Amino acid sequence: MEFPQATFHSSPSGSRADATAWELHHGYKRGRLVRIRHGVYLPAEQWLSVNGWERYALTTASLAIRGESPVFCRETGLLLWGVKLAGLPQAVEYLTSHRDQLGRAAPPRLYGNRDAVEKLGKQLAPDLSMLPTGFRDAKRLGTSAGRWSVVSDRLGLRLRVQELDGLLSDTIHRLPFRDAVVVLDQLLPKESMAHEPAYQASVHHKPAAAYMRSVEHLAGLCSSLPKIAQRERMSAALAFADSRSESVGESLSRAVIAELGFEVPELQFRVMGQFGEVARTDFYWRQRKLVGEFDGRIKYTRARELSGKSIEQVVAEEKAREDRIRALGYGVVRWEWDELMQPGRLATKLLRAGVPRVPQNSYRPKRGLPAQI
């Protein structure tokens, strides 16, 4: 979870009886402040200037402003552990031992003066069509005591998080198949890290691969789940997971391709020419001599940051790279994030490119909705 720079404002009591609380409420009503939760505010400009993931991080962090944070769980906990998700969660999830507090809270009332905030938003982003919504709190049953925590040096806050094995056992089987694959692909040790010792310290001091777990370890967590349906969901995603996947987009692509009934491609295929390697591609269908490439915005942004080149230069080099691949007799099919979000469009593109279908009697992953709470 990446925390942007931000300045939280709060009053000790949250009651309008004290002067500080009254000033904050007045700023909220004038549209200068956004109320993240009762008694906790952010400058409207800061809230509008960050993206959805950063707003989610700030909403999570706001629970530590007026005291010790709760123990975060499920998707919120995964993000705090450093695991990326396929989609932005709609609620900040944390544990409570009080059964009468379980469930989702009402949506926050972010804006005390929508007209003023909308005017500010238009100044910051002229193409802003609507004000961003906030995130609900969702309380889940569990112990609220926890020794694991993440420290945000930027915000000066400590956020408690559920220990990883319990978090994984409670979360993965609830996710749709494709979302579970995205998580599990990241958890499996990469080949270069397969022999690293198991991590035993706290999250705050963890190395980059602190959340990684072996297939055997994850299978053990799966077998300990109490219900058959839970074990089946986690087992199906674990059987499909592949440590060679290098991004959320690649993991999600594989899962969606399988759900659509297409042959699952090979990963990280090296295209060889007369003088050595020409390119390493995201996907490959050997039967069709067809290369697949996921074009994510992060892919180009990261390439630009590493090379110091402009987006236009990076795109031009990618086009030249594709030309070299095609010159060796390979077909190339590309897709973007929007097509993953609309699988019908992706299916049409894959069919036109000649991606083979799997036999109808072969295994296909179930799309399945998350388990109901």
Amino acid (1-letter code) at residue 61: A
CA distance 98 to 220: 29
pLDDT category at 186 given cuts 50, 70, 90 is very high
What letter would DSSP give residue 4?
A: P
Per residue in 309-334, pLDDT (tens digit) is 677 777 788 888 888 999 999 999 99
Helical (H) or strand (E) element with 119: helix 114-124
Residue 12 pLDDT > 90: no
* Predicted TM-score of the model (pTM): 0.86
pLDDT category at 208 given cuts 50, 70, 90 is very low
Per residue in 74-83, pLDDT (tens digit) is 999 999 999 9
In this structure, are residues 340 and 253 in contact, taking their beta carbons and an 8 Å threshold?
Answer: yes
DSSP string, 126-179: TT--SPPP--EEEEEES------EEEETTTTEEEEE--HHHHHHHHGGGS-HHH
pLDDT category at 216 given cuts 50, 70, 90 is very high
In this structure, are residues 125 and 131 in contact, taking their beta carbons and an 8 Å threshold?
Answer: no
CB atoms within 10 A of CB 326: 12
pLDDT of residue 125: 84
DSSP string, 299-358: HHHHHHHHH---HHHHHHHHHHHHHHHHHTT-EEEEEEHHHHHSHHHHHHHHHHHTPPBP
Kindly state the percentage of the chain with pLDDT values over 70.
Answer: 85
Residue 197 pLDDT > 50: no
Least confident of 6-20, 291-305, 331-345: 291-305
Residue 16 pLDDT > 90: no
Residue 269 pLDDT > 50: yes
pLDDT of residue 207: 43
pLDDT of residue 315: 76
Residue 150 pLDDT > 80: yes
Mean residue pLDDT of the chain comes to 87
pLDDT category at 147 given cuts 50, 70, 90 is confident
Least confident of 34-43, 93-102, 142-151, 173-182: 142-151
- Give me the mean pLDDT over the 301-305 stretch: 49
The residue whose two tokens read 């926890």 is 146
CA distance 253 to 251: 5
Residues whose CB is less than 8 angstroms from the CB of residue 294 and which lie 6 or more positions away in sequence, other chains included: 247, 249, 250, 253, 282, 283, 334, 335, 336
pLDDT category at 194 given cuts 50, 70, 90 is very low
More confident residue, 98 or 366: 98
Residue 195 pLDDT > 70: no
pLDDT of residue 143: 82
Per residue in 103-132, pLDDT (tens digit) is 999 989 999 999 999 999 999 988 888 999
Residue 46 pLDDT > 60: yes
pLDDT of residue 231: 97
- Give me the mean pLDDT over the 244-262 stretch: 96
